[in-house]
Structure formats: structure tokens, C-alpha cells
Chain A
Amino acid sequence: MNQKTTDKQIMTGNEAIARGAYEAGLVFASAYPGTPSTEILENLAKYKSELYCEWAPNEKVALEAAIGASIAGVRSLAAMKHVGVNVAADPLFTFAYTGVTGGCVLVSADDPGMHSSQNEQDNRNYATAARVLMLEPSDSSEAKEFTKLAFQLSEEFDTPVMLRVTTRVCHSKSLVELSGREEREPIAYERNIAKYVATPANGKKLRRNLVDRLKAMEEYSNRAEINKAEYNGSEVGVISAGVAYQYAKEVFGEDASYLKLGMTYPMPMELVKEFAGKVKTLYVIEEMDPYMENHLKAAGIACIGKELIPEYDELNPDIVRSAIFGTEREVFKSDAQAVVRPPTLCAGCPHRGFFYALKNKKNVMVTGDIGCYTLGSAPPLSTIDTCFCMGGSISAGHGAAVAFRQTGRDMKTVAVIGDSTFFHSGITSLMDVVYNKGNCVTVILDNRTTGMTGHQENPGTGQTLMGEPAVEADIPLLCKAIGIKDENIYLINPLDLRETHKALNQALAKDEPTVIIAAWPCAIKKFSEGDKARFDLSPKKCIIDQEKCVKCKACVRTGCPAILSGERILIQQESCTGCSVCKQACPFEAISFVDGSVGR
């Protein structure tokens, strides 16, 4: 496992951003995990002897902490996925007014094509809306260099800088040349109320200053080395940025001139005009929104963009080629069709037991949240009615419950949220339920980790990003403090169907706020000592007695990927964890533990 140490390494964009921040002398970084941004902080943690990094409970907290560190005089960074910037937008817009002390970089990792996201918003629009300088690297080498430049520009122009990347930059590997770390003295702290206290009086001045700063930034953009023209004749010109530039190079090769933009806010409009004047046909090739195209068109520059290039989903060279030239490649077609392979809850996933129990409750609307448990919406469980954003399940459940009550309908709501998501922004929603006398049943699926993004620590796991022991947030106590009554808090094992049914039935019968805390560790996480002490995690396997099996498929309807339904119904021993949800679901007692042990 030893990494060969050379000056040149093959790195993902995320590793390269972490390396760039390290080389730039970064002192403080904070983030909330979210695909495709997660590995930036995980990689920064490798340099923990020389810098500090942490998981924040949410993206707003992460950015605010980075702002504090910047004002305290060091270089700081906050990283998040595109939708995380929505959460962090509040501090971002005002931070753009105040500016920085130590350089501060916000990494926005967008997900064109929604590989692992609920939408594909184009966060370049945030740079325009908040008026923050924006850089867009197109591969890992640029990811590292642009990160370093971002810190420098942040200090030079007194502004937070947005480093905008996309999935194919974050998760693609390419060659990177490493340099050493720049050791920097912290900038001495001085109170500066006029700059950092955004009261209306100060804010008005800061807002006017921003106009001048923007002018200076645009002037820089026009001479920035990372905005460069490559001339190959005057017939065709291409303006592009980010990974779309790489696609354009594949498609046009040496048959077009390029204006490759590394800094896309403020746009280098003088440079753009000069380039446009030198080519006959001008294409703007960009993923998602017509961001650059709109800047060109607003300046009266004729160009071809979204009338040909798709405005949604991610691009690739083939899509760009057929969009521009109308060519279709010859491809293999097959008569047989591959069956879809959707992601599923894993074998032994504690969420399965809970959803299997919830599935049959009548007159219930289930509001869901962002995490592995969103897969509870997929067949055969199909037990989640809504999913919008982190933390939204409880507040949506409350609103719906009130709406049903106000209009005299016999419906209850169950809000389903994970532990990390509850800490992210579910707590404030639960306060809403209590404060406003709602009766939504809140279910916290506490799997002792941040599951979907690959098992990051969170305030409930007892460990930090840098591997140090931490205080565990006490969820039941927190609920009590908010005002949930003792008798309305149910602590259950979600793999125990009887216990889960009992808690759900009791909670649904009450006309006041209730919380069910369904605690069991994620089946595929590395169990902590705390997990082993608290839960019975001894390895078990289940097996079907073929003599007793009548093929009613009750076990198949749990949706467990270890169960195979064919002529016979079988449990694949290599993937079974012995969670026993199928055993409890079987009405004919045909399923037992392989070792003959008794119990649930």
C-alpha cells in the first residue's frame, strides 16, 4: 500500500484540490460530505499534522467557520456539493461584501447528470448573484494550480473565491506535479468593525466598494494567464471552460481556435470580444446553463450555444460532436436488453426492517430526506412519498400534518431522516413541530454514520475527521431539550419488526409530537468499539428450509439483495448478514439462523 513518492502523481480532481490547498499554506478547512465533493476534506485530513480540517454539521456552518478563520488571519476553505451552496448561501452573499483577511475559497462541486444528487443546478449562477470571483479548472493539474491561485486572488481582491468543479473534474484522475507547502505567517488580528459588522450603515458602504472591486477583478480577468486564446485559423472559434473544454478539444482538435477560460466570473469580456472578432463562426461549449453564452449575448456578440448543445445532463465528446455536426456514430445494437440495475438498500441494512414495518400502515404520508434511506422509495418497499432536500422531511411532514388536520382529513405523517441529516438541519424542523403543536411522527434512522457518501464521521459518531475521539451528541436528550415528552420518545432496534410495529402504532395514535429513534449500525461500515459494546453484531446467517417454503415471497418483498427468487427461493450466504428481517417476515417459519440459534 506504499504510495511511490515522485513529483508527478495521478490524482483525482478532489485529491488535487486538497493538495493545492495544502501547498497554499491552508490552515483551516471545513465541509459537510456530499457527492462529488466529499474526498476533498478526506484528502486534506492526510495532511493533518500541518493543518486543521473538520466535518461540520452542515454547509452553512462549514462556510461560516471558514469565514471566521479567514477573519482570524489564515487561509481557509469550505467544500460542498452544489446543493450545499444553497444552504451556505446566506453567509456567502454578505461575505462577498465584507471580503476576507486570510484567503478564503469556497469549493462548489456540481453534479451534471445527477449521478448522485436530487437536481443539477448550475452554481456558476451563484458567482454572478453573489458577485464572487470564480475559477473553473478542467482537470486535476488545473484543480491544484487554480486552488493555489484562488487563495492568492482572494487576498489580492479582498473577496471569497468560488472554485467551481463538476463530477468529471472531481472524480477523474490525471497527472499532477507536486510542489512543497508554502509556510505563511498568520495575518495579525485587528478589530475592523466597519469591514466585518454588516449593519445597514456598514453594508451600504461595503456594497458600493464591491462595485469597484468587481471592476478590478474584471480588469484582471482580461489579463489573467488562465484565460487564454489558442489560435488555429479564423474559420471556427470555441469558447469553453471546465471539463467541457476537454470535450471541445476532442471534437475540434486543431481545426478550431479556442478561448479557454479558467476565470469565468467576472467574465473577461474584452478578451471575448477580441476573440470573437477573429473567428467567423463562434461556438460556446458549456455544460448545463447557457452561463457564458448569456454573457456574450448580453454584450451583443453572436454565438452558437444552447441552440445545439443540450442544456441538461452531462456532456461528453460524442454528444458535443453529434450536436454540432449532426453525425451519428455507428454503434453495436443488441437484441437482448440488459435489465436495469438500480441501487438498493444493502443486505442487512437496518433501514429495511423499519420500512418493511412502515409499509403497511394505513392513512400515512411518509416524508423522506436525503440519504441511503431515500432508497426506501424504490420497489418493493416503495414507502417514501417525498424527498427534496437535507432536513426537509420533518418540516414537510409537519406542514402536511397541519394541512390534513385543518381540512378534516384522517391522515397522519411520518417523517424519515438519518442521524447525520438530523444534525444537518432536522433539529430546527423538529423544534417547529414541538413549538407549533404538530403531531408528525419523526423517525431518526440512526445508523451511526453518514452512509451514502461513504461513512464519514458526524456529531453522533464519537470521532472527528482528524481521527480524534469526540463527544457524541445524545439524540434522545436533544429531543427532550427541544420539548418532546419522555413518553413520546421510542428507542427501537429497526431490525426487530415487532418492536418497530409497536412503536409506530403507538406514535401514530398520539396527537402530539413523537420521535422514534431507530438505532442500528450501517451493515457495511467498519464497526467502532462503541458500536460493538452497544449492539449485538455477532456474525449470523439465515437459511430457508425448502421443505417448509411455500414460495409466498413474503421474504422477497423485503427487497433484500441476498434473497434470490427463482424456481426456489434462496438466501445467498455470502451476502447474508443474518439481520433476520426475512425470518420475521416469513409467515411459515421456514427461515432460521444457520447456526440454529434462536431469537428474533
Chain B
Amino acid sequence: MSNVKNILLVGVGGQGTILASKVLSEGLMEAGFDVKMSEIHGMSQRGGNVSTQVRFGDKVFSPIIGKGEADLIVAFEKMEALRWIEYLKPEGRMVINDAEIPSAPIQMGLAAYPEGIIEELSEKAVTYVFKATGLAETLGNPKSMNMVLLGALIKAINLPDIDWEEVIRRNVKPSFVDINLEAFRTGKAQVSGS
């Protein structure tokens, strides 16, 4: 019934998913879309998995979606891509940071980190996979990984008419503006065409 698009940002507490979603929502709002965003705080901050949902279009009702409804999933960690795959639409796409953060049972040697995640997900859905953490490290600030992924996200949803760099400037400390913009552009370059 509607032209509403659903984006899911998933990762691990502390990876900067919330700032990325904030920039995304502000940019979309300024472009004139109705926007709703929902995030989960609380216990998930302590090393648990985190998820943020952003929905935009002419008129958005629910702030959250259910399984099989995401147009785009941006996974800040690859096991989280696997955890949320059920939320992807059959024709949906995924941006995946090819990085591993073991969870507590894996760290303790009680479970193994699943193998072949990228291969399996790439077989099933359209995926854009790259080492966002590595790219951010090369740029000199591993924390700017969230902006690398935001760049890829923007390219993947094809919304070039918004001045994203201005929104980023407003949302980060002045001393971190340059590195974050560089990270954002690096991320955009990882997704070809659209």
C-alpha cells in the first residue's frame, strides 16, 4: 500500500549503530520524508546485540517491522547479519562488515563462531561485503567504521540528493569531522552502481 522503505542496522553494543541511524534519520527528515526510528537500549549496551530500525516514506505508522520486511540490512558484524537474515525481504539487500566479534560463549570456548556466513548469505541475497573496520583503521580511526557503513548504506538506497556530509558535520565533534567524512566517502565507494 505504501512507498515506505525499511532499513535495519544491526551490530554489537559500542559499534556506533545509533549515531549512524541518527544521521540517517535526520537527513531523511530534512529531505521531506516522514521518518520513524526505533532503537533498543538498556542491557544490550553491555556487549549484547543491538538493533536500530529506520523507516521512511510519505507516511510511516509503525516504528518497527517484523520478519521479512527489511529492504536493506546493514550488519556492523557478520554474525549479526546471520542473526537478522529472517527480517530481510525476499528482494532485500544486505551491507555486511566482514568483521568478527565473538560473543561470550565463543570467547569462553563453549561455542564456535559460525563458518561460511558470507558465502551463505551472498548465495541467498544481494550483498555488499567489505572490511569496514579494516578500512576505518587504515584511515586512522577504527571508530569511524560506522561512517564507512553509513556511506555504503546511502549508496545502496540511492539517495544522493541529500547533503549527508552536512548532517555528519552537525552530528560529530569538530575535531572528528574530517576523518568521519573521509570514512563516509570511503564507504560510498564500496558500493558500485545501484
Contacts and interface: CB of A to CB of B under 8 A. Distances in A.
A337 B114 contact: yes
Given A343-B43, A380-B108, A174 B36 contact: yes
Contacts of A167: 40
Interface in B58-116: 60-69, 79-80, 82-83, 85-88, 90, 102-116
Interface in B1-28: 1-2, 12-13, 25-26
Contact of A336 (B37, B38, B120): B120
Contacts of A116: 41-44
A173 B68 contact: no
B48 A342 contact: yes
A338 B86 contact: no
A454 B45 contact: yes
Given A115-B42, A341-B12, A343-B47, A317 B80 contact: no
B173 to A, nearest CB: 6
Interface string A297-329: 000000000000000000011110100000001
Interface string A247-261: 101100110000000
A278 interface: no
B82 A331 contact: no
A501 B164 CA distance: 55
Contacts of B34: 174-175
Contacts of B69: 317-318, 329
Contact of B170 (A1, A115, A254, A557): A1
Given A173-B36, A380-B108, A330 B68 contact: yes
B104 A246 contact: no
Given A318-B69, A339-B114, A332 B36 contact: no
Contacts of A253: 1-2
Contact of A318 (B29, B47, B48, B65): B65
Contacts of A1: 170-174
Given A175-B35, A337-B114, A331 B67 contact: yes
B86 A332 contact: yes
Interface in A100-133: 115-116
A139 B36 contact: yes
Contacts of A249: 61-62
Contact of A346 (B47, B85, B88, B116): B47
A168 B38 contact: yes
A338 B44 contact: no
A332 B124 contact: yes
A4 B41 contact: no
Given A1-B170, A318-B66, A338-B82, A172 B37 contact: yes
B166 to A, nearest CB: 9
Contacts of A380: 108
A316 B112 CA distance: 32
Contacts of B113: 339
Given A116-B43, A317-B62, A335 B36 contact: no
A61 B84 CA distance: 42
A378 B48 CA distance: 13
A171 B35 contact: no
Contact of A559 (B2, B42, B104): B104
B154 interface: no
Contact of B66 (A172, A319, A338): A319
Nearest to A244: B62
B117 interface: yes
A186 interface: no
Given A168-B64, A334-B124, A115 B39 contact: no
A561 B47 contact: yes
A174 B47 contact: no
A49 B125 CA distance: 53
Given A249-B61, A452-B43, A553 B109 contact: yes
A70 B52 CA distance: 38
Nearest to B83: A338
A345 interface: yes
Contacts of B117: 336
A2 B174 CA distance: 10
B120 A341 contact: no
A331 B68 contact: yes
Given A246-B63, A341-B103, A333 B86 contact: yes
Contact of A339 (B43, B86, B106): B106
B35 A173 contact: yes
A334 B107 contact: no
Given A173-B35, A339-B113, A452-B42, A317 B47 contact: no
A379 B85 contact: no
Nearest to B106: A339
Contacts of B102: 564
Given A172-B38, A317-B66, A332-B88, A565 B107 contact: yes
A518 to B, nearest CB: 19
Nearest to B48: A343
A161 interface: no
Contact of A175 (B29, B48, B104, B115): B29
The interface centre, meaning the residue of B41, B44, B62 with most chain A CB atoms within 10 A of its CB, is B62
A334 B26 contact: no
A526 B103 CA distance: 25
B82 A246 contact: no
B107 A556 contact: yes
A421 to B, nearest CB: 15
Interface in A529-571: 553, 556-557, 559, 561, 563-566
A556 B109 contact: yes
B86 A331 contact: yes
B49 interface: yes
B139 interface: no
A345 B45 CA distance: 10
A497 B3 CA distance: 59
B66 A336 contact: no
Interface string A559-585: 101011110000000000000000000
Nearest to B2: A253
A253 B60 CA distance: 11
The interface centre, meaning the residue of B25, B44, B47, B82 with most chain A CB atoms within 10 A of its CB, is B47
B191 interface: no
Nearest to A81: B42
B120 A335 contact: yes
Interface in A335-381: 335-346, 372, 375, 378-380
5 contacts: A115-B41, A116-B42, A246-B63, A331-B67, A344-B46
Given A10-B37, A115-B43, 19 more contacts: A3-B170, A4-B170, A10-B35, A116-B43, A172-B63, A246-B62, A250-B62, A331-B67, A333-B86, A334-B124, A337-B82, A338-B80, A340-B103, A342-B48, A344-B104, A379-B110, A559-B108, A561-B107, A564-B102
Task: List the 4 shortest-distance A-B pairs measured between CB atoms, nearest first.
Answer: A318-B66, A116-B42, A329-B68, A172-B63
Interface of B: 1-2, 12-13, 25-26, 29, 34-49, 60-69, 79-80, 82-83, 85-88, 90, 102-117, 120-121, 124-125, 170-174
